[in-house]
Amino acid sequence: MPDISGSAPKGKRVMTVKKQVEPIWIAGCMSGTSLDGVDVALLRTDGIDIFEFGDSTFRPYSVDEQSLLRDQLGLWQASDAAVELIETAHAEALSALQGFEMVGFHGQTFAHDPRGLGTYQAGNGAVLAEVLQQTVVWDFRSNDVQMGGQGAPLAPFFHHACARYIKATAPLVFLNLGGVGNLTWVDPSIDDPAQTGALLAFDTGPANAPINDLCMARLGKSFDDNGDLAASGQVDAALLDQFMQHAYFMKMPPKSLDRNDFHDILTQVESLSDQDAAATLTAMAAASVAQAMDHCPSPPARILVSGGGSRNATLMAMIAAGVDCAVAPIETVGLDGDMLEAQAFAYLAMRVKRGLPTSCPSTTGVAAAIGGGRISKPD
Ligand SMILES: Nc1ncnc2c1ncn2[C@@H]1O[C@H](COP(=O)(O)OP(=O)(O)OP(=O)(O)O)[C@@H](O)[C@H]1O
Ligand SMILES: CC(=O)N[C@H]1[C@@H]2OC[C@@H](O2)[C@@H](O)[C@@H]1O[C@H](C)C(=O)O
């Protein structure tokens, strides 16, 4: 039965017909730019509201698998072995969970250049649909790019749902510190995420990727645990200033980055000690977040941080020191920062199924709110 509701001035009957859809359990999957593994999380949603968060799992990539994937970065067609690894790892991760009736499969981004060539997420949803005998929604970014958008970030519509789920009343920022940093400013008082003024989203700059690359190249470690290495070094102020002159920071959002867009900062810190290089790269990530605040339509009441970078205490302290509002891990409001992106692709899968938009001018720069994605069903 449709829900017929609405208020109208006396004497005039105006009815708003809202089509109701039953929420379902969906498994969302994310294999992020840090190449650490596959996150899968269950979410019960109707594509508008979050009804319930469910179980989640993580299937890590082994060191050898990571190196196979790393070799594909920047390629517009990954090797058969890499594609097979991505599909197999997702199938394995998904088989650890039960009780879902659809899958939102992001795939692994290897190349992203919306201004020129497009965006490439490896992994075929149709293959996964056959293997799992489940409906798989995938290829979320291509349509946005074809329509002139950046194809990223796509999590903002989900952040809007999260803001309403936690009953936020004032504008707030969701900050994800993955390989790249990205933020979404949300005005929770506007019900429809596609409506002008509800959202502003963009990539802030490099986050963990250069720190990880430095740790791997110099110490054979995959990341700077807790930011301890950075905490023991000095920031090179001249290099930090030079970094902040990058044209990307002056550019008005929406804007997005590829993982290696700022790769040259590793060369710039080459002459510094391990500690000073880590401190300087961490300060660069934090300064790009502070600069990003200038682009927000109004100062947020708080910044809720997700992604692995929220466990880097040095990075978190540097960010807090550079902004004028509270900065806290998203766990402080009861959400799971490690699974947020996977949950986002469960939410977006339901929106694709319902034909609802998944991006709009203020999230990806696309000309008008649009949907996208492909739906593959098993034969
Ligand atoms: N304890 C920790 N201390 C410091 N950094 C950490 C810690 N745990 C995770 N990280 C950082 O977080 C990264 C993983 O973050 P995350 O899983 O959010 O990235 P991702 O989802 O792959 O990236 P993206 O969001 O860009 O796609 C690690 O590679 C590491 O740099
Ligand atoms: C092209 C691509 O895969 N971009 C990722 C990447 O990782 C973080 C940042 O860069 C963001 O733009 C995006 O992912 C998140 C999930 C998004 O689309 O919102």
Residue ranges of domains in the chain? 24-150, 167-333
CA–CA dist 216, 134 (Å, integer): 38
Please state the atom number of ligand 1 nearest to the C-alpha of residue 259.
Answer: 26
* pLDDT reading at 227 higher than 60: yes
Residue 48's CB is within 10 A of a number of other CB atoms, namely 22
CA–CA dist 73, 108 (Å, integer): 10
| Pocket flag, ligand 1, residue 205 (CB < 6 Å) | no
* Residue 218 exposure: Cα atoms within 13 Å on the Cβ side: 21
CA–CA dist 75, 306 (Å, integer): 28
* pLDDT (mean) for 96-105: 98
- Topology adopted by domain 167-333: Nucleotidyltransferase; domain 5 (3.30.420)
Q: Predicted ipTM?
A: 0.95
Distance of CA 70 to the CA centre of its chain: 19
Kindly state the tokens that stand for 220: 């054979």
**DSSP labels, 100-113:** -SEEEEEEEEEEEE
| Pocket flag, ligand 2, residue 154 (CB < 6 Å) | yes
Q: Give residue-wise pLDDT tens across range 18-61.
A: 568 999 999 999 999 878 899 999 999 999 999 999 999 999 99
Q: How far is the CA of 81 from the centre of ligand 2 (A)?
A: 23
- Whether 26 contacts 100, CB under 8 Å: yes
Residue from 31, 36, 40, 108 to probe ligand 1 pocket by mutation (most atoms less than 8 Å from CB)? 36
Q: How far is the CA of 67 from the centre of ligand 1 (A)?
A: 17
Q: What is the pLDDT of residue 190?
A: 96
Question: Which residue has its alpha carbon closest to ligand 2 atom 11?
Answer: 153
* pLDDT reading at 104 higher than 80: yes
* pLDDT (mean) for 1-10: 37
- Whether 154 contacts 139, CB under 8 Å: no
Determine whether domain 24-150 maps to CATH 3.20.20.80.
Answer: no
Q: Give residue-wise pLDDT tens across range 169-217.
A: 999 999 999 989 999 999 999 999 999 999 999 999 999 999 999 999 9
Alpha carbon distances (Å) from 332 to 40, 303, 343:
21, 11, 18
Please give the torsion angle defined by the CA atoms of residues 198, 194, 341 and 202, in that order, rounded to the nearest 10 degrees: -60
CA–CA dist 303, 106 (Å, integer): 25
* pLDDT reading at 9 higher than 60: no
Q: What is the pLDDT of residue 18?
A: 53
Give me the phi and psi of 360, to 5 degrees please: -155, 175
Bond before 254 cis per omega within 30 degrees:
yes
- Summarize the annotated binding site for ATP as residue ranges: 32-39
Distance of CA 30 to the CA centre of its chain: 9
Q: Give residue-wise pLDDT tens across range 115-168.
A: 777 999 999 999 999 999 999 999 999 999 999 999 999 999 999 999 999 999
| Pocket flag, ligand 1, residue 223 (CB < 6 Å) | yes
